[in-house]
Amino acid sequence: MQLTVWTYEGPPHVGAMRIATAMEGLHYVLHAPQGDTYADLLFTMIERRGKRPPVTYTTFQARDLGKDTAELFQTAAREAYARYQPQAMIVGASCTAELIQDDPAGLTDAMRLPIPVIPLELPSYQRKENWGAAETFYQIVRKLADKDAHPAPRENRRPRANLLGPTALGFRHRDDIIEITRLLDSMGIDVHLTAPLSASPADIVRIGEADFNILLYPEIGDTAVRWLEKTFGQKTVRTVPIGYGATKDFIREVAAIADVDAALALDDSRLPWWSRSVDSTYLTAKRVFIFGDATHAIAAARVARDELGFTVVGLGCYNREFARDLRDAAKLYGVEPLITDDYLEVEDAIAALQPELVLGTQMERHIAKRLRIPCAVISAPVHVQDFPARYSPQMGFEGANVLFDTWVHPLVMGLEEHLLTMFRDDFEFSDSAGASHLGHGRVALATPSPFVPSEVEGPIPGAAESPSTTLGTNGGLNGVWSAEAEKELLKIPFFVRGKARRNTERFATEQGLAAITLETLYDAKAHYAR
């Protein structure tokens, strides 16, 4: 058993729902107890869809247990078919139904519905949401793709590509497709099929007619793409075009596979100039911590270091399926890879590293808020505000513009904060007035050292006047702060204060100092000066 409060991923059947909801003309009959319909609201609320997800739940209850549940499943499947008349159906079990061992595959087989029915085996106690989505998409493609399909001769036509991987509830999938479709169009390439998002089963049948595949989201599309390579010999573009450099690489890779001129792609990115302009100088070597799904985290690390001039101090992902890719990337930046789905480990890592910017998921946003570190969201899971009304892709040249603005924005806010801190003694800018971007009426922080989640214990007898003993995350005694030093620490802007405290404590420990005085603080500053 694993004790959790927050999970980065839902169960695998939620992944299957993401595929079903993405597609048109497909219906999912899910053997599940009453209550599992909660997942509907992820789509209707977070993604703000105006249609119910095409999912029929059997919603069995305790009184149905026994052989009744099998009949319940068949009734649900029959009625779903009659009402929605889908082109194809996927059937499967949620975690509880997996335990009662009805066999959705056999049960629907026996019903002889006049449409393809695709049974799903999603092991709920081993796998998670992304795996469920990948497996579902793979099974649909495998079952429906017409194996005799092949691309028409190339004479007098533009090359055609499949865009694979976008789903419902995908982080910025909607706009990424628009951006990449436009980019391909400027290169003279047509999109044959975008799937699963907005594809129908009839579209999937013709998947083999494309000249090649573009894998936008490996977490969702990798399994299917491997099968397509094997079955149809379609080549795959594997560069994920997130960031300016990656988009350039993507264009080159596409151009080579499609045999078109890469120069045709219109480079309309403002990122290179924005980043070179002097206003961006202060971004240099900002220490950034990156966490998310492997694809977005790896892409973000490249943008952070090569395109914004940050220093990557931490890199991690929550999906173990792509742990190897992430480990390889972490080597490039000389950092320890962090592969975990336990947010407490991520929180510890961030607290220990004291980065100046966190790029992560909704969860890291909250961790960063607590630690008062600027943060931007780069990956699912995300909340409703990250399914915006405005156009905001992550991919392609416009995506690079969006990334620049999104990541720099919290830092600019940090600079604003710095100015406020400089004027802290001004009556209008007292510490208790709070951060300008955190809204009014925020309660002033109670402890003088709110930026390190360390446990402040009572005074040690015989120590300097009103000192506090601070335990670092390593549990060791890092030093005793004198009141004077503690007060001086407060003069340091909040977004580097935690780092200053940590550095000073480390310095004091290394020097074997029993107390941290004003001198120690500045000695440490000199020691760590860069």
Partner 1 sequence: MTPALPAAVPASTDCVPVLRQRGQREVFCGLTGIIWLHRKIQDAFFLVVGSRTCAHLLQSAAGVMVFAEPRFGTAIIEERDLAGMADCNEELDRVVDRLLTRRPDIRMLFLVGSCPSEVIKLDLSRAAQRLSGKHSPNVRILNYSGSGIETTFTEGEDACLASLVPELPAEPANAAPALMIVGALPDVVEDQFLRIFAQLGIAPVHCLPARKSADLPPVGPNTRYLLAQPFLGETARSLEDRGAQRLDAMFPFGAEGTTSWLHAAAQAFGIDEMHFRSVIAPGRERAKRAIEHCREQLAGKSIFFMPDSQLEVPLARFLSQELGMVPIEVGTPYLHRRHLAQDLALLPSTTVISEGQDVDRQLDRVRAAQPDITVCGLGLANPLEAEGLTTKWAIELVFSPIHGFDQAGDLAELFARPLRRRDVLRV
Binding residues vs partner 1 (CB under 8 A):
1-7, 9-11, 13-14, 33-42, 44-45, 48-52, 56-62, 64-65, 76, 79, 83, 94-96, 99-100, 123-126, 128, 363, 366, 370, 383
Tell me: cis bond preceding 381? Omega within 30 of 0 counts. yes
Amino acid identity at 112: R
User: Torsions phi, psi of 377, nearest 5?
Assistant: -95, 130
Least Å distance between CB 175 and partner 1?
Answer: 20
Identity of the residue, 44 or 311, whose beta carbon is nearer to partner 1 in the bound complex: 44
Which residues lie closer than 8 Å to 35 by C-beta, 6 or more apart?
Answer: 59
Identity of the residue, 66 or 462, whose beta carbon is nearer to partner 1 in the bound complex: 66
Least Å distance between CB 94 and partner 1?
Answer: 6
Which residues lie closer than 8 Å to 484 by C-beta, 6 or more apart?
Answer: 517, 518
Least Å distance between CB 49 and partner 1?
Answer: 7
Identity of the residue, 130 or 162, whose beta carbon is nearer to partner 1 in the bound complex: 130
CA proximity to 301, closest of 367, 374, 360:
360
Identity of the residue, 5 or 529, whose beta carbon is nearer to partner 1 in the bound complex: 5
Least Å distance between CB 516 and partner 1?
Answer: 29
The token duo for 222 is 């990798």
Q: In what order do the strands lie in the sheet with 311-317?
A: 337-339, 311-317, 287-292, 357-360, 375-377
CA dihedral 356, 360, 364, 370 (to 10 degrees): 30
**β-strand partners of 29:** 56, 91
- Euclidean distance between CA atoms 178 and 394, whole angstroms: 11
Residues 68, 109, 279, 328: which is the catalytic one? Answer: 279
Identity of the residue, 1 or 278, whose beta carbon is nearer to partner 1 in the bound complex: 1
- Euclidean distance between CA atoms 17 and 407, whole angstroms: 31
Which residues lie closer than 8 Å to 523 by C-beta, 6 or more apart?
Answer: 507, 511
Decide if 328 is catalytic.
no
Q: Are 315 and 301 in contact (CB under 8 A)?
A: yes
**β-strand partners of 312:** 288
Least Å distance between CB 80 and partner 1?
Answer: 9
Least Å distance between CB 454 and partner 1?
Answer: 16
Distance of CA 483 to the CA centre of its chain: 42
Identity of the residue, 141 or 349, whose beta carbon is nearer to partner 1 in the bound complex: 349
Amino acid identity at 201: P
Q: Is 142 helix (H, G, I), strand (E, B) or coil?
A: helix
User: Torsions phi, psi of 43, nearest 5?
Assistant: -85, -40
- Euclidean distance between CA atoms 162 and 232, whole angstroms: 13
Least Å distance between CB 371 and partner 1?
Answer: 12
- Euclidean distance between CA atoms 371 and 67, whole angstroms: 53
- Please provide the DSSP assignment of 106-131 as one string: HHHHHHT-SS-EEE----TTT--HHH
Least Å distance between CB 219 and partner 1?
Answer: 17
Place of tokens 């709070």: 434
Identity of the residue, 37 or 280, whose beta carbon is nearer to partner 1 in the bound complex: 37
Could you tell me where the DSSP H helices lie in 264-386? 271-276, 294-302, 323-333, 343-353, 362-371
Least Å distance between CB 32 and partner 1?
Answer: 8
Identity of the residue, 56 or 394, whose beta carbon is nearer to partner 1 in the bound complex: 56
CA proximity to 378, closest of 280, 266, 302, 270:
302
Q: Where are the beta strands (DSSP E) in 169-310?
A: 190-195, 212-215, 235-237, 287-292
- Euclidean distance between CA atoms 208 and 228, whole angstroms: 8
Identity of the residue, 306 or 342, whose beta carbon is nearer to partner 1 in the bound complex: 342
Identity of the residue, 27 or 302, whose beta carbon is nearer to partner 1 in the bound complex: 27
- Euclidean distance between CA atoms 408 and 414, whole angstroms: 10
Least Å distance between CB 59 and partner 1?
Answer: 5
What residues are annotated to the active site?
279
